[in-house]
C-alpha cells in the first residue's frame, strides 16, 4: 500500500500476520456477482441488514473453506434501476462493509478493459499490482499527485504465481470509454487494465489498513478498433464465469494462510 513500510512486521499498518478469517468481496455489477453467489451457495441477508435502511446495497454470506465470506454489491440506482457502478457507490459500500464486518481481507472482483500493447487478452484475469486514477486531473503541484492517487497493492506474488494469474497495474475512472486525456493519464499510470472502481476500493482499503486483492476479468480490448460497448456487452457473461472460477480458487488458496503468506 502507499508509503508502506514495516511497522513491527506489519505492512503499512495492515495486519498481515494474522490468519485470514473474514473476507469481503466487493463487486459492482449484479451480473458479475450472481454466478459467484450461486457457485459459492451464499445466502442473501433479507430480514436483518448490516447496512442502513433504505440503501440499495446487498450482501450474500456463507462459510467457505473455513472463511466467513461476504459478497457485497452496491445494488440498483434508486432512480434508474441500473447497477450502481463507479467509484462513489463502491467506496461507500466498501467503507460500510468494512466497518460492519471487520474483514481481514478485501477482494474487489469485476471486469476491466485491457491493453493488448501490454499483453492483455479477452478473458484474462488480472491481479492488480498498483491502483491509480486517470480522471482526477488537478494541475496544481502536489494536488496533481493526489488526483492520480497511486496506491501499491498488497503483495500477493505467491498467489499470482501459484494460481497462474496475470498481473498488471490498474487505472480507474468513472467512464467506460476513454478520452484522449484519459489515455494520456492511463499511459502515465503504466496500466495494463482499466476499470471503474478499483482505485476507489483501494483508497478505502488503504485508509482502513485492510489488505486488498483486486481480480479483474478483461471484457474488451481498449487499444484496438472494436467498439468498447459492443465488446463489453458481448463478453460480460464470459467474464462473470471467469470470476466465478477465480474467486473460489483465491478463497481456497487464502484459507489457513496469513496475508504475509500470499
Ligand atoms: N470494465 C470493462 N471494460 C471496461 C473499460 N473498457 N473501461 C472501464 N471499465 C471497464
pLDDT at 2: 43
Q: 87, 110, 176: which to mutate for ligand 1, most atoms within 8 A of CB?
A: 176
What's the rounded Cα separation, in Å, for the pair 131 and 168?
10
| 224 included as an active-site residue | no
Q: Is 70 exposed, middle or buried (0-12, 13-18, 19+ CB in 10 A)?
A: buried
In a domain? residue 10: no
- From the candidates 18, 32, 152, 167, which is the catalytic residue? 32
**Domain range for 205:** 19-255
With cell 471484457, the residue in question is 219
* pLDDT at site 10: 57
Structural contact between residues 137 and 181, judged by C-beta atoms closer than 8 angstroms: yes
Query: Quick one: pLDDT at residue 14?
Result: 76
DSSP 222: T
Residue of 124, 135, 220, 231 marked active site: 220
For residue 2, being part of any structural domain is answered with: no
Question: Could you tell me if residue 41 is inside a domain?
Answer: yes
Query: 216 to each of 82, 114, 253, how far by Cα in Å?
Result: 21, 10, 17
Neighbours of 75 (CB within 10 A): 17
What is the pLDDT, as a whole number, of residue 8?
Answer: 37
Q: What is the CATH number of the domain that holds 88?
A: 3.40.50.1580
Give the pLDDT score at 16: 79
Residue nearest to atom 6 of ligand 1 (CA): 113
Asked, for residue 225, whether it belongs to a domain, the answer is yes
Look up 220 and say whether it is catalytic. yes
> Is 13 among the domain residues?
no
- Asked if residue 183 belongs to a domain, the reply is yes
Distance 156 CA to ligand 1 centre (A): 24
Judge whether 24 lies within some domain: yes
pLDDT tens-digit profile, the chain (262 residues): 444 434 434 556 777 788 999 999 999 999 999 999 999 999 998 777 899 999 999 999 999 999 999 999 999 999 999 999 999 999 999 999 999 999 999 999 999 999 999 999 999 999 999 999 999 999 999 999 999 999 999 999 999 999 999 999 999 999 999 999 999 999 999 999 999 999 999 999 999 999 999 999 999 999 999 999 999 999 999 999 999 999 999 999 999 999 999 9
Residue to substitute in 174, 198, 219 for testing ligand 1 pocket (most ligand atoms within 8 angstroms of CB): 219
Note whether residue 5 is domain-resident: no
Residues with CB under 6 A from ligand 1: 111-113, 176, 194-196, 219-220, 222, 228, 232
* Number of domains the chain contains: 1
Q: What is the pTM of this model?
A: 0.93
Report which protein residue has its CA nearest ligand 1's atom 8.
Answer: 195
Amino acid at each position: 500500500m502507499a508509503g508502506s513500510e514495516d511497522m513491527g512486521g506489519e505492512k503499512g499498518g495492515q495486519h498481515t500476520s494474522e490468519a485470514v478469517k473474514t473476507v469481503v468481496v466487493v463487486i459492482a455489477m449484479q451480473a458479475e456477482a450472481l454466478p459467484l453467489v450461486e457457485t459459492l451457495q451464499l445466502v442473501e441477508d433479507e430480514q436483518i441488514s448490516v447496512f442502513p435502511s433504505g440503501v440499495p446495497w446487498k450482501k450474500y454470506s456463507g462459510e467457505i473453506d473455513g472463511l466467513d465470506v461476504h459478497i457485497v454489491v452496491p445494488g440498483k440506482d434508486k432512480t434508474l434501476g441500473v447497477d450502481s457502478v463507479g467509484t462513489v457507490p463502491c467506496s461507500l459500500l466498501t467503507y460500510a462493509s468494512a466497518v460492519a464486518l471487520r474483514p481481514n481481507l478485501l477482494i474487489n472482483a469485476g471486469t476491466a478493459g485491457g491493453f493488448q500493447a501490454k499483453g492483455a487478452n479477452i478473458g484474462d484475469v488480472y491481479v492488480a499490482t498498483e491502483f491509480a486514477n486517470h480522471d482526477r486531473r488537478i494541475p496544481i503541484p502536489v494536488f496533481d499527485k493526489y488526483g492520480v492517487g497511486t496506491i501499491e497493492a498488497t503483495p500477493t506474488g505467491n498467489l499470482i504465481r501459484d494460481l497462474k494469474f496475470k498481473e498488471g497495474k490498474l487505472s480507474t475512472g468513472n467512464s467506460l470509454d476513454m478520452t484522449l486525456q484519459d489515455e494520456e493519464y492511463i499511459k502515465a499510470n503504466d496500466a495494463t487494465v482499466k476499470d471503474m472502481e478499483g482505485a476507489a476500493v483501494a483508497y478505502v482499503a488503504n485508509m482502513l489498513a485492510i489488505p486488498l486483492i483486486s481480480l479483474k476479468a478483461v471484457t474488451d480490448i481498449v487499444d484496438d478498433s472494436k467498439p468498447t460497448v459492443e465488446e463489453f456487452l458481448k463478453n460480460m457473461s464470459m467474464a462473470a464465469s471467469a470470476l466465478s472460477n477465480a474467486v473460489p480458487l483465491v478463497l481456497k488458496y487464502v484459507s489457513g494462510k496469513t496475508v504475509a503468506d500470499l
